[in-house]
Amino acid sequence: MRRADPIVESTTSRRVWPDLLAFTIGLGAAWLLAWETGDLIWGLWLSSLLTGYMTFFVLVGSGFFLVYIMLTDPLFPPDKRVPVLVGSVIGALFFLSFFSVHFGMFHLGHAVFLQNFFPLESLPEQASPQQNFSPLSLIRLAWFLIPLYGYFLVAAIISERKRLFVDPLAFVRHLRKTRSHHEIADIRNIKDAHLFKDALIGPYRNVIRMHLLIFVFAGVHFLEIESFLLFALVYAVYFFPWHMLKKDGTKPSV
């Protein structure tokens, strides 16, 4: 019989415990606060919106750190520093506008649908997407929901730690290393470009998963078959570290 490698087991445990923590926080919040289907659905909506925008700002921050490394490198042409900096700022603002139209307004439109079927009590008129369909109402609605469903947001952030923390920190370390070796002159040699690709795909992947779950829960609610077991199932789909059930214990994320 093949004996388990203690190093692999230790590494796997370090990867698994944050997922277990996120699972426990989410499920514990639903149990202690006696959440109903509407609470879970709005919690999913809030976590999708905020983790998506967190991903955006992590991506932009990583990009500006790259620009900083470029502009402060002795080999970078001095006459191109200002144009590159201005272009980077304009590009970031354009990206924010483009992302907000696609991602933010999609969530705002979905909030209108949710408010019809799972209305929020005591929601101020200024934060109601039905009364005020604008980016400002989206911000006010998210601010209203954070005290109510922030527990789910904590679990979501832990679950998305690779995209929000691990990959960006690895990217920064790589840039600092290349700078110390005077290799930053050729940006094409940077090997962590997958950070940007994953950051662009990640929020939309979560949106698809979130909306599928919302439709499932809406159907369950109207069929009047909701139960805490259902909450446990959703949290398991979202946060339970299924990869630890693999025999080899491998998983690409940390």
Residues 126-132 have a mean pLDDT of 85
**Owner of token pair 């059930």:** 245
d(CA 230, CA 171): 39
Q: What is the pLDDT of residue 4?
A: 46
- Radius of gyration of the chain from its Cα atoms, rounded to whole angstroms: 21
Q: Round to the nearest angstrom and report the end-to-end CA distance of the chain.
A: 28
Cβ contacts of 14 within 8 Å, gap of 6 or more: 254
pLDDT digits (tens, 9 = 90+) for 12-67: 455 677 777 777 777 777 777 777 778 888 888 898 899 889 988 998 998 899 88
Q: What is the pLDDT of residue 195?
A: 66
pLDDT digits (tens, 9 = 90+) for 178-219: 776 655 545 544 544 556 666 667 677 777 777 777 777 777
Residues 138-160 have a mean pLDDT of 88
Q: What is the pLDDT of residue 200?
A: 63
Residues 241-247 have a mean pLDDT of 59
d(CA 178, CA 188): 12
Is residue 2 over pLDDT 70? no
Is residue 235 over pLDDT 60? yes
Q: What is the pLDDT of residue 143?
A: 94
Stated as kind and residue range, the H or E segment containing 38 is helix 37-71
pLDDT digits (tens, 9 = 90+) for 65-124: 988 988 888 878 889 899 999 999 999 999 899 888 888 888 898 898 888 888 898 898
Position with higher pLDDT, 132 vs 58: 58
Is residue 248 over pLDDT 60? no
d(CA 52, CA 64): 19
Tokens describing residue 207: 């949106």
Residue type at 45 in one-letter notation: W
Q: Domains of the chain: which residue ranges?
A: 15-245
